[in-house]
């Protein structure tokens, strides 16, 4: 569950880095005054890490052992 949330967050940050000019980024993402190009390298890394995190979360969810039957 947590891996999926982290993966989605990384994908979101990666898309923002790939589409928004550096000078228009929010303060916590590190804007650079006067730089109008997106941060392509960081965007690609963030998207790749997001895909890996989502894949690991999916694999972990599928590998869970089945719940034991309920006895009454």
Q: What is the pLDDT of residues 17-28, one digit of tens each?
A: 888 888 888 777
pLDDT at 20: 87
pLDDT at 67: 74
Token pair listed for 48: 């790749």
Q: Cα-flanking dihedrals φ and ψ of residue 71, to 5°?
A: -110, 140
Cβ pair 61, 35 in contact under 8 A:
no
Q: Give per-10-residue mean pLDDT for the chain (72 aa).
A: 90 91 79 78 93 92 78 70
Question: Quick one: 51 exposed, middle or buried, by C-beta within 10 A (0-12, 13-18, 19+)?
Answer: middle
pTM for the full model? 0.77
CA atoms of 39 and 21, how far apart (whole Å) = 7
Domains of the chain: which residue ranges?
2-62
């Amino acid at each position: 569950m947590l891996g999926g949330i982290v993966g989605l967050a990384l994908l979101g940050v990666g898309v923002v880095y790939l589409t928004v000019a550096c000078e228009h980024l929010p303060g916590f993402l590190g804007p650079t005054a006067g730089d109008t190009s997106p941060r392509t390298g960081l965007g690609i890394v963030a998207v790749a890490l997001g895909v890996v995190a989502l894949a690991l979360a999916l694999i972990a969810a599928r590998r869970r052992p089945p719940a034991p039957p309920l006895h009454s």
